[in-house]
Amino acid sequence: MNRKTWAALLSLCLLALWLLAGCSKKEAANEEQPATESASAPAPTPIDPATAASVSGSVKFDGAAPKPAKIDMSQDPACKGSNNVETLVVDNGNLANVFVYVKEGLGNRTFEVPKTSAVIDQDGCRYHPHVLGVMTGQNVEIQNTDPTTHNIHPTPQANREWNESQPPKAAPIEKTFAREEILLPVKCNQHPWMKMYVNVVKSPFFAVTGPDGKYELKGLPPGDYTLAFVHEKLGEQDQKVTLAAKDSKKVDASFKQQ
Amino acid sequence: MPEQPIPEQDPVVTKSYAVHYVVAMAILLATLFWALWDESFGQRPWKAFQHEFKDRYLAFLTTAKSKSQQSQKEITQSSDYARLEDNYKQARQGAQPRVDAIQKQLSDLNARILAVQNVFTDRRAYANALTYQIETDPSPSGKKNKQKDLDAYKAKLATVEFPDHSKKQFNYGQLEETYNQLRDQRTALSAELGEALKPVTEANAKLAEYVSDHMVDLTPAQIEGLHKKYADWDPKILQINVADANIVDRCESCHMGIREPLKITAAAMTLKGHKKPDEYAQAFVSHPDTDLLKVHDPDKFGCSPCHQGNGRATTSLEKAHGNYEHWLWPLFPKANVEAGCQTCHAADMVLVSGDVGWTISEGKDLFRQKGCNGCHRYEGYDKEPEELQSMTQQIKLLEQQKKDNSKQSASLMKQADTAETNAEATRFNEQAIALRVTNSKIDGQVQQFDFRSHSLMQDMKKIAPNLKDIRLKLNKNWIPVWLKKPTDFRPTTKMPNFRLNDEQVHSISAYLWQTGLTDSLPKQKAGNAAHGKELFETRGCLACHSIGEGSQLEGGTFAANLTRVGEKANYDYLVRWIHNARERTRPYCPYEKKDIGPEDYAKHGLPYQFDLQHSQCPNDGHELQVQNMTVMPSLRLSPEDAQDIASYLITQKKQEPSSYADASFMDDAKLRDEGKKWIRHFGCAGCHEISGFEEEGRIGTDLTVEGSKPIERLDFALYTEAAQRGGKDPITNPDDLARLPGGPAKGPWYDHKGFFEHKLAEPEIFDKGKIKSEEEKLRMPNLHLDQEQIRALTTFLLGSQETSLPASYQYNPSDTRKDIQEGWWIVRKYNCMGCHQFIPGQGTILMGMAQYKDVQEQLPPKLLTEGARVDPEWLRRFLSNPALSTTDTNRNGVRPYLKVRMPTFSFSDNELRKLVRFFQALSQQPIPYVPEQVPTLTAKETDMARSLFSSTAAPCLKCHATGDDAHDLHATAPNFLLARERLKPDWVERWILDPQAISPGTAMPSGLFRRENSQWVFAGPTPSSFQGYTRDHSKLLVDYIFQLTPEEQHRVAGAMGRTRAAGPARNRDQQAWHGNASATGGGSP
Amino acid sequence: MPIEDENGKNGNQTGLMEKVKSGIQEDLQSLKTDIPAKAKEQIEGLKDPTKTQVFTSIFRHKHDDTPRNRALGVLSNVFLHLHPAKINRDAVRYSYTWGMGGITFYLFIVLTFTGVLLMFYYHPSKVQAFRDVLYLEHDVPFGRILRNMHRWAAHLMVIAVWLHMFRVFLTGSYKKPREFNWNVGVILLVLTLLLSFTGYLLPDDQLGFWAVTVGTNMARATPGLGHEGPFGHQLGMTPYNDVRFGLLGGSIVDANALLRSYIWHCIGIPIVASIFMIVHFWRVRKDGGISGPAPVMLTAEADKARR
Amino acid sequence: MDWRQLWDIVSTPDNVPIVALIPLLIFYCYLAWKQAKANDELVSELEADPVLAKTHHRKTWPFRPGWQKEVHVWPFLLRVEFLAAIIVTIILMVWSLTLNAPMEEPANPNLTMNPAKAPWYFLGLQEMLVYFDPWIAGVVMPTLIIIGLMVIPYIDTNPMGSGYYTWKQRKFAIGTFLFGFIVLWVSMIIIGTFIRGPGWQWFWPGQTWDHNRLIYEVNRDLPDLFGITSNWAKGIFGAVVVGGYFAVGGFLLHALFRRFNPKDYRRMSLLQYSVMQVFMLTMIGLPIKMLLRLALNIKYVWITPWFNV
């Protein structure tokens, strides 16, 4: 009989242990606080203008540039002037229409969206500019100064697609792009040659090279950055640069015909 | 006894059991408490879940509420809201004095009514009691006396003291009258109050509507309601009980967030300070697809019909999810969750709702596309042969009935002739006539069945090539190399690897070669390979076929990869095939079970001509198989184009065809029988047409309910133990191992999922280690599927269950939804989705190709609203002949500007009917379609419309084709002249108002019209004639388009000054094509 | 009130009034004095509840610890009077009896109790049976432990019965005059096994189904009575008329078998077993109580007894 | 050694009673043996000392004059009984709380369980099925067991050992019973539970129960060993062998019994003796048949058109 009593006692002990374990577990769970989400939007990260650095440079095209083809615009008599294919604009070895921006190195910084609108103008059945940089959420204003109807049709990957008609002299169309996207094509279905690219980035540190191939990024806080040079035809090049306070460095890039 | 015993206490009597009892009772009590604890907590883990949910959800609600308040604030700060609020305030102020006055009156009145009521009801009760006594009094005198009493009582005056302390006396009649009057007054006043308040309530409702229209989530008040509900939450079982279907699902006892009106994510339910959501947080999320729940109301469906598991169990996670040994319906794994769709939607081919359903749809498609149903029967797949059989059966029955009827009719007429009276004779005659009419109806029915049989014959397809043409088509020496391991030659091929040994390869190829047809093919001129390449890349071949290998691969996987086609194919055959793949070398007669040749036709003096119009066997009149049983359509290429493409393809090779080792053993007649044996053994005829195997049955098991097969019936062979216990995965071949969706097994995989996945990844795995003869080995070939495909097929098979749900839960609709079900089978059969988008979010093969990236207008049209867009009768014509012309066929009928070509599929009447109904049903359009009457425009209206049509603000003809070649070169939209027959006016109006809503990404821009005072007005400048025009401008334009004549279009185009006149139908060189015979042709209208 | 008026007018009636008044006063007085006295008395009486009428009506004798009362405690109790008033002083030792007979009986009571509760939730039909067991397991308060207890008590009872028999044999307790009671015991053993076996099928799951199939398949082979048994075929036995058919109510284990096994399990065998148990216990008493522990017998005495 | 397999079998809820039965049986055997030994020692002491025998209270437990020979049931017996009830309740409760009664898939006549096992207390009979045809194993044998048990009081003529544990005084009876109960019944159950796997094949403890295991086993019939082919001859041969077994075995048993248990032999009537002989021989026949089967793969000894033995 003792044997049995012992067995029963043993099981009782186990039970007690188990109960204890169960209780302690519960207490532990209660100590944890329920999650609360931070609802407020992140405020722009301030940059000390005293330490701001800058990067500038020029972009070259290596090799002989093909002569830009002329576009036949006879399809629409309303398209005046002459128009060249803008996929590769090289002047004296200087490559235009290269979008330069800080690809990495800004961490989680956020920036204020400029109040001014970026403008795309349709004039002479071509887009001005051919390559545009904007910040996410920045207003883009599309104007039509041609005496013909255009339709503006961006075909993005990450943003929403739309396609709107704009008769001559119509009010400008105002749009924003919510998500980062590089080389977002915009076209006009009625004038198949019309094409441009919008680059949407999260920071204000971007530039498009002009006909002289030059660019400049100002107001950067010190740090290690990756600069990206993006060209619609020639692809992307990345370069690393380290900026100390008030630095102003030169970073050049050079593209080759592929 | 030597000594006097010392008196001693008797141990039996004195022994105390107190300690024993105390200990035993203590333990007993402890076990009792244990049992109680077990009952209330140990067996109720969901209580902990509910406590946890309460805490976390309340915290979540608090943040949600502040967010909601934020957005409500934003809404209430808008000017629109302010305006509405203003309106509301004004209305309230305006109504206030009147409302106050009425309310004052009402409260006075109520007091008066109360005063009268107190007296009146008391007196009425007495009078009623007295009346009852009169009614029931048996004696007339008693009645009279009591009546007197009653009258006296009614005449007696009663005093009513009104609230203003004035007193008045009434007799019963007056009292009643006063009471009713007062009540009428009250009703009238209440109505007046409502009237006075009406503008206020309306303004208030508008205000509320504005908020609810603009709030994406719940309002703070609603969230507060939720908060209150859960703040006072007491743990309780939450269950769905559907008695009819024996569904008891208590899943929500733990998964409390599933149906919450707020979207709950695991991250939101994670405790602060924890990165990863714990078990609780993962359990508390809301259902990922609420739309799905709207269709499948959980109150009717519960959870387990879709997800399985043990809905009743609440004692532990394993029990509730059914993941224990003895539960037959364990929860579908997350990766295969869509298997649940199959349990009820077995009849659907495409099952997509939002994000859900792509996997199971893919699995269902793969089952057919990969030829699984060549060996495995599965209910719903490959129905044509079965339907054909039932059709034959029914025809037989009807013919018997007809015979009986005519017999009876003859006998009736005989009776009529000998009838005694005329009336009787007439009766007999009439009966006889009725029977003859019945027979004529039967004739009609039989005719219909005949048509359908004809269609079914046409609909029967095989996924693999016709091997009767092997001698005409293939490089002989290539065949054994291919059979040995098809993937060595073409890594993406559908032809699976049967693990044949050399003897089997030799004998099989010998049989095929020796039984192949030896007819001669017309010699073809060499074509222009460069032009062929361009055609191949632009005509749409790549929607089904692919070219290039590995990372260079481009195109679809529906059909063969053509990278090395030059090594195997015969040029002449290739030309014929490209020009019209359906063209058959010899027709096949299923009745005689042989291929009919010219000699058979000659015997009966008939020309050797067979096509869809000439499909009767010359020997016995039975329906012939006159087409190749391939789904490859005709692209209506000119013979030269076909030659060009073939010339291009024949250059596609890695090695010379002549470099293949000699395979003259294929002529060895001795191998033939052996080959026949192996072909039968491996079920080659499931996918291929092979001489002598036309009637071959399936060799595999029926998979219709494979998912509910008892696990013991799935043969894990030597790996039963390994599967039950986990451990190293038995698959060692790295290629096959890479196919397993979850990678090599990490734990036990002794379940259906594990079996299906392993079997699909390496079909011979359950032969491994076994010693078997060639005949006994598993025959299932390696389909070299990738992880996603295996996942999809496993999902499909897991869902293939014999369900215990009532039949009403099966999705077998009989209305237009059935048309949708049936249509998808055809859409998938012909790979329509390779070119066209049917469902938002569905990608097509062509959409993914680089060449269309910048010229999306060159893509085939999206068919998202096709049924609403086109006239079904036109659609039928278009589908049967996409050129919309019998002469000018080398073009697209609607969009001549597209390089990619809508092919001619030679749909049978049956499939045409189903497809048209499918598109109509998909867009909720009624059938038959009665076209809307378009009003004839007045001359003035025509002028106005023309001004819109040719406005520089909407230069329609800039993009739309006009029929003028020079102009159409740049056109990106169809010709308006087609509209009248093709389109539905209501759709056209919707289209021009907002094309982006109908076909996202279309070249047609939005914003041509704008809404102005409930009228659609042209967005560009309009001439003065539009002054005071009240109809929608868009409507006007549509009417104009539907009345557009070629002349008018010509005129307008001319006026716009750029285009030349639209000429009459162009005369392209029509070269008669002299092949054997054309098997294509439009479906007979 | 009319009476009051009369009283006031009639002088003769004034005496009556007095009487009534004094009578009421007396009543009040008695309430004041008697009730406390009676309450005191009542409380005194309740101090010894064993003296109350209710108590003595239930318990027929006193409970002070006298030998007489000890004996009466057993003899006058319907449950305990299975026992004699006094027993062999060593028979209380666990090592002799192992208590297995008593444990078996106790388990039988536990099984009856849990079994009756289970019957509330169980329908012996093919559609319902399995679901009912699921229901018991998942829905019924204490249903799972109830079913577990029933199942395990049944197994425990089989073990206890065996050990009981084992003990009885080892102590030679079947010997004269207890031969008959041994036989009753053997029958009870068989009944216990049958009870357990018939209960096996009731959940209608694979385990029970196949256990019963295996079990009853043997009945097929009953000589002469089963269609597969020796001479069964010759005697015209088929699967549809043999003894197995009779046991199962069909040729396979199905709804009828379920019902039969339910009825046997819940009604038939328990009644029979109860009857035998009564006999068993009765005979234990009548055969002179439990057999021992008896004084050891010497060989010489045994020989003498024989002669 | 496949521990997992062993654990799977041992931990199956329905096997737990058997697992419990083994230690219980050992414990009670020990308990009985201890008392039997003490009693036997007392007997030999008293037999050696007749004087003491006259006065001794004849029990191993202490006894002093003045102590009551009988005690009251209440409280001395009942308190033990109540305690036992409480302990059994505790065991039952703990067992029920920790182990769930088995509940498998719904009955499915189309899906055979492998192995399909009877309830554990009938596994001895199921094990017998290997050695005998169902009519013997399933019907005759249980009947014989019951009858055999029932006749025990009537054929055991030994007056000694009634009411106390002993070995020396009842060697034959106890030996036979232990053989029947432990060897033929309990060990058969243990074999049936732990040893018999899928296909009712013999798996040593710890061997994996492989459902695909194939073993070569050709069973012969005894007449085949002697090359007898004719059905009649087989029947007669079998009858002779079985008859011979009973005759020779009976004679041997007689020789042994007479020699080693002369007292019982003397006390038994003819009927008692012959009944004892029949049951003894049948019981001994059982392991002999098993041995024939396991060692020599002999299936039947006696083959007739109606039944086989």
Whether residues D70 and C144 touch (CB distance < 8 A) is answered with no
Pick the CATH number of B820-930 from 1.10.760.10, 3.90.600.10, 1.20.1640.10, 1.10.8.420: 1.10.760.10
User: How many angstroms away from the CA of C265 is the closest CA of chain D?
Assistant: 15
D106, A23 Cβ separation under 8 angstroms: no
**Are B577 and B605 in contact, with CB atoms under 8 Å apart?**
no
pLDDT of residue B778 exceeding 50, the answer is: yes
A8 with D90: Cβ contact below 8 A: yes
Report the percent of chain B where pLDDT is more than 70: 96
pLDDT at B364: 95
Could you tell me which residues of chain C have a Cβ less than 8 Å from any Cβ in chain B?
89-90, 92-93, 131, 134-135, 137-139, 141-142, 144-145, 205-206
Q: What is the ipTM of this complex?
A: 0.78
Q: What is the pLDDT of residue B1064?
A: 39
**In the predicted model, what is the mean pLDDT of residues C108-118?**
96
- Token pair, residue D135, equals 């009519």
How many Å apart are CA A43 and CA C28, to the nearest integer?
91
Tell me how crowded residue B980 is: count the other CB atoms within 10 A of its CB: 17
Residues in A closer than 8 angstroms to B268, CB to CB, are 35, 37
Mean pLDDT of B208-226: 86
Secondary structure of D108-127 in HEC code, one letter for each residue: CCCCCCCCCCCCHHHHHHHH
Q: Give residue A21's pLDDT.
A: 42
User: Which 3-state string (H, E, C) describes B913-973?
Assistant: HHHHHHHHHHCCCCCCCCCCCCCCCCHHHHHHHHHHHCCCCCCHHHHECCCCHHHHCCCCE
Does the beta-carbon distance from B28 to D76 stay under 8 Å?
A: no
Residue B409 burial (CB < 10 Å; 0-12/13-18/19+)? Answer: buried
Q: Which two tokens stand for residue B786?
A: 């990738």
Distance (Å, whole) CA B712 – CA D112 = 9
Residue of C nearest to D50 (CA): C298
pTM: 0.84
The hierarchical CATH code for the domain B936-1065 is 1.10.760
User: To the nearest whole angstrom, how far is the Cα of D90 from the nearest Cα of chain B?
Assistant: 6
Q: Is the pLDDT of residue B537 over 60?
A: yes
Q: Is A37 a residue whose pLDDT tops 60?
A: no
Quote the pLDDT of residue B1061: 38
Confidence of residue B1076 (pLDDT cuts 50, 70, 90): very low
Concatenated DSSP letters of B996-1040: HHHSTT-SS-B-SEEE-SSSEEESS---GGGTT--S-HHHHHHHH
In the complex, which subunits touch D with 3 or more CB pairs below 8 angstroms?
A: A, B, C
Question: Angle at Cα D247 formed by Cα D241 and Cα D250, nearest 5°?
Answer: 130
CA distances from B637 to B525, B539, B628, B645, C29 (A): 15, 9, 18, 10, 130
Which domains are delineated in chain A? 45-111+206-258 (2.60.40.10), 120-202 (2.60.40.420)
How high does pLDDT run on average in chain B? 88
Kindly report the nearest CA distance between residue B272 and chain A, in angstroms. Answer: 4
D91 vs A contacts (CB less than 8 Å): 4, 7-8
Q: How far apart are CA A164 and CA B1004, in angstroms?
A: 8
Mean pLDDT of C78-102: 86
Most confident among A40-44, B877-881, D50-54 (mean pLDDT): B877-881
**A1:D87 CB<8 A:** yes
Q: How many other β-carbons are positioned within 10 Å of the β-carbon of residue D266?
A: 11
Q: Do B10 and D90 touch (CB under 8 A)?
A: no
Residue found under tokens 């680059």: A199
Q: What is the mean pLDDT of residues B434-450?
A: 92
Give contacts of B 973-1012 with A, CB under 8 A: 995-996, 1000-1008
- Facing residue for A11 by CB, picked from D83, D87, D94: D94
The arithmetic mean of pLDDT across residues D116-143, rounded, is: 87
* C134:B312 CB<8 A: yes
Give the C-alpha separation, B986 to B1006, whole Å: 17
Whole-angstrom distance, CA of residue A133 vs CA of residue A199: 5
Helix, strand, coil shares of chain B as percentages rounded to 5? 55, 5, 40
Interface of B with A in 216-235 (CB under 8 A): none
CB contact under 8 A, C134 and B314: no
Grouping H, G, I as helix, E, B as strand and the rest as coil, residue B188 is helix
| pLDDT of the residue at C91 | 86
pLDDT tens profile A62-102? 888 788 888 888 777 778 777 888 888 888 888 889 999 99
Nearest CA in chain B to D68: B10
Residues 6+ apart with CB under 8 A from B812: B347, B818
Q: What are the residue ranges spanned by the domains of chain B?
A: 79-227, 384-459, 467-582+628-686, 706-802, 820-930, 936-1065
Q: Please report, for residues B209, B1075, D164, the alpha-carbon distance to residue B607 in angstroms, rounded to integers and kept in the order given.
A: 76, 15, 113
Contact criterion met (CB < 8 Å) for A35 and B955: no
Within 8 A of A5 by CB-CB distance, chain D residues are: 87
| Count of alpha carbons within 13 angstroms of residue D247, beta-carbon side | 6
How far off is chain C from D129, nearest CA to CA, in Å?
9
Of residues C259 and B10, the one with the higher pLDDT is C259
Which other chains touch chain C, taking contact as 3+ CB pairs less than 8 Å apart? Answer: B, D
Nearest CB neighbour to D103, from listed C89, C203, C220: C203
Ramachandran angles phi, psi of B547, nearest 5°: -140, 150
Q: Is the pLDDT of residue B35 over 90?
A: yes
Residue B1078: the pLDDT is 37
Task: Write out chain B residues lying below 8 Å of C135, CB-based.
Answer: 312
A190/B268 CB distance under 8 A: no
- Range 78-97 of D in CB contact (< 8 A) with C: 78, 80-81, 84-85, 88-89, 91-93, 95-97
B312–C138 CB contact, under 8 Å = yes
Overall average pLDDT of the B45-72 stretch: 90
Evaluate if residue A31 carries a pLDDT over 50: no
Is D35 in Cβ contact with C205 (below 8 Å)? no
* Set of chain C residues whose Cβ sits within 8 Å of the Cβ of B39: 141-142, 145
Report the distance separating Cα C291 and Cα C101, nearest Å: 13
Whether B273 has its CB under 8 Å from any CB of chain A: the answer is yes
Q: Which residues of B touch D108 (CB under 8 A)?
A: 710
The pLDDT score that the predictor gives to residue A14 is 53
Structure tokens that stand for B899 in this block = 């390089």
Report which listed range, A145-154, B45-54, C72-81, is most confident. Answer: B45-54
pLDDT above 80: residue D110: yes
pLDDT at B1074: 36
Q: Would you call A8 and D27 a contact, using CB atoms and an 8 Å cutoff?
A: no
What pLDDT sits at residue B404? 94
pLDDT in tens, B789-819: 999 999 999 999 988 888 888 999 988 899 9
Q: Give me C211's structure tokens.
A: 């256990």
Q: How far apart are CA B620 and CA B1010, in angstroms?
A: 68
Distance CA A231, CA A96 (A): 9
From the centroid of its chain, how far is CA B182?
64
Q: Name the least confident of B406-420, B520-534, C222-236, D252-266.
A: C222-236
What is the C-alpha separation between B212 and B214, in angstroms, rounded? 5
What percent of chain A clears pLDDT 90, i.e. is strictly above it? Answer: 19
Angle, CA of A162, A164 and A170, to the nearest 5°: 145
> Which pLDDT tens digit goes with each residue over B333-376?
999 999 999 999 999 999 988 888 999 999 999 999 999 999 99
Query: Does the structure show a pLDDT above 80 at B1075?
Result: no
Query: Residues of chain B whose C-beta is under 8 A from some C-beta in D?
Result: 1, 5-8, 10-13, 17, 20-21, 24-25, 27-28, 31-32, 34-35, 38, 325-328, 710, 712-713, 717-718, 720-721, 725
Q: Please determine whether the domains at B467-582+628-686 and B820-930 fall in the same fold group of CATH.
A: yes
Query: Domain C97-201+253-293 belongs to what architecture?
Result: Up-down Bundle (1.20)
**Looking at chain B, which residue has its C-alpha nearest residue C90?**
B12
Query: Of the candidates C92, C135, C141, which has its C-beta nearest B39's C-beta?
Result: C141
Give the C-alpha separation, C203 to C138, whole Å.
14
What topology is assigned to B467-582+628-686 in CATH?
Cytochrome Bc1 Complex; Chain D, domain 2 (1.10.760)
Q: How far is CA B734 from the centre of its chain?
A: 37
